[in-house]
Amino acid sequence: MAAFSSFLPLSIQTVLLLLASNVFMTFAWYGHLRNLATAPWYAAALLSWGIALFEYLLQVPANRIGFQQAGFTVGQLKIMQEVITLSVFLPFAVFFLKEPLKLDYLWAALCMVGAVYFIFRNG
């Protein structure tokens, strides 16, 4: 983290770490649906658990930096995480899992914009 701190604002460090952690999280939670579809569930769970370790190695520092140094509230961090999750999940679902792109994703994103507004409006 020290390399980031010399040139990136703490808020940007937080967002970038959350973004990277979400890539791991998305693969841990959903990647097995394509790559291990015929494997036993416990094999998929063990592999997902291993991938999730890397998520936590990024997510925990992201939340600490965001809360302790960047001045985000826990609520702001949570909403930020959800927006990032949707931003990572949508391309993953469409390009990796070959799910159809639906208008419902747009409506969900608009709801998230509302959540961002309300959680950050008095911040």
Mean pLDDT score across all residues of the chain: 92
Q: What is the pLDDT of residue 122?
A: 83
Average pLDDT over residues 40-44: 95
pLDDT in tens, 66-85: 999 999 999 999 999 999 99
Q: How confident is the model at residue 123 (pLDDT cuts 50, 70, 90)?
A: low
Residue ranges of domains in the chain: 9-120
Q: What is the pLDDT of residue 35?
A: 87
Burial of residue 121 (CB within 10 Å: 0-12, 13-18, 19+) is exposed
